[in-house]
Amino acid sequence: MKARYALLTSCLTCLIFSQASAEEQGNIGVGVKAGTLGVGAEVDLGLNEILHLRGGANYLQFSFDSTISNIDYEMEPEFKNFSLLLDVYPFSGSFRITGGIFINNNEIDLTGSPRGDGLWANYSIPSEYSFAEPLKDTIKVNGTVEFNTFAPYVGIGWNSNVEQEKGWGVSFEMGVLFQGAPTVSSLTATAAAPLDAYADNPIVLQVLEQEKKAIEDDLENFQYYPVASLMLHYTF
């Protein structure tokens, strides 16, 4: 956590000093954007005709359903991240190539409801742990999926106001956020009495460990998160 905020402080310091230089040139832009990382805001500092430095923040929350190991899950991703990006305009035109890093607080909360034998259907459970059908319906599986804190990013884009003239402009960007393989940081099973007494049973814990791997495999594609955004910005 301390390393995360130290990096954020360094990024902001870099932006402040760059801003002081850019103010002399009049190459400062601010904007709002929307895209696959949600809604956000950015500051764009034109260092010269070829290089621009951008810092921003994004937020997104949504939900989707997925069935894994006979368990119906409601997945609720919440994306919160900060970015520090360097734009290169190789032809001194509107086209740009972007690289940088995200301070990545993306995570997915999940709640699962077993169907039928549900949590136990794919595992060899001793007969003494075979629960009556009505009781199985009370079982819930809860967990959190996390990704790497620092995530590299590469992309390409287009900026209508690369000349940094005062006034409004728009930009579009596509890229990939490499946030690492998903990791289930916690997974628990809860149930109404009398099943709650088995929450810490070694058999139950073993099943949950195997379920973690199944969830991570199902969400594997999230490690390469597609980024597309449209921004409206104003240059001072």
| CATH number of the structural domain spanning residue 59 | 2.40.160.170
Tell me the two tokens of residue 43.
């500051």
Note the pTM of the prediction, 2 decimals: 0.77
pLDDT for the residue 92:
81
Closest CA to 109 of 186, 25, 166: 186
Residue span of the structural domain in which 177 resides: 2-235
225: three-class secondary structure by DSSP: strand
Name the strand (E) or helix (H) holding 1: none
Report d(CA 116, CA 125) in Å as an integer: 15
Contact criterion met (CB below 8 Å) for 169 and 126? no
pLDDT of residue 31: 96
pLDDT of residue 165: 79
Q: Is 34 helix (H, G, I), strand (E, B) or coil?
A: strand
Q: What is the pLDDT along the chain (236 residues), one digit of tens a residue?
A: 444 444 444 444 444 444 444 444 448 899 999 999 999 999 999 888 899 999 999 999 999 999 888 788 999 999 999 999 999 999 888 999 999 999 999 999 999 887 765 455 554 555 555 544 444 556 788 999 999 999 999 999 999 987 777 889 999 999 999 999 999 988 988 766 555 566 667 777 888 888 899 999 999 999 999 999 999 999 88
| Token pair listed for 143 | 């967990």
How much is the pLDDT for 182? 95
Which residues, 6+ apart, have CB-to-CB distance to 36 below 8 Å?
A: 60, 225, 226, 227, 228, 229
The predicted pLDDT at position 161 comes to 81
**Predicted local distance difference test score (pLDDT) of residue 183:** 95
Whether 119 and 72 have beta carbons less than 8 Å apart is answered as no
- CA–CA gap between residue 69 and residue 67 (Å, rounded): 7
**What is the count of structural domains for the chain?**
1
**What beta strand segments (E) does 105-207 contain?**
107-114, 140-146, 150-159, 167-178, 183-190
- The CB-based long-range contact list for 209-215 (8 Å cut-off, 24+ gap) reads 210/123, 211/68, 211/69, 211/71, 211/119, 211/141, 211/187, 212/143, 212/184, 212/187, 214/68, 214/69, 215/68, 215/73, 215/110, 215/143, 215/145, 215/182, 215/184, 215/187
Give the pLDDT confidence score for residue 135 in this predicted structure. Answer: 45
pLDDT for res 61 = 96
Task: Name the pairing type of β-strands 150-159 and 95-104.
Answer: antiparallel
Q: Which of 87, 79, 50 is nearest to 171 (CA)?
A: 87
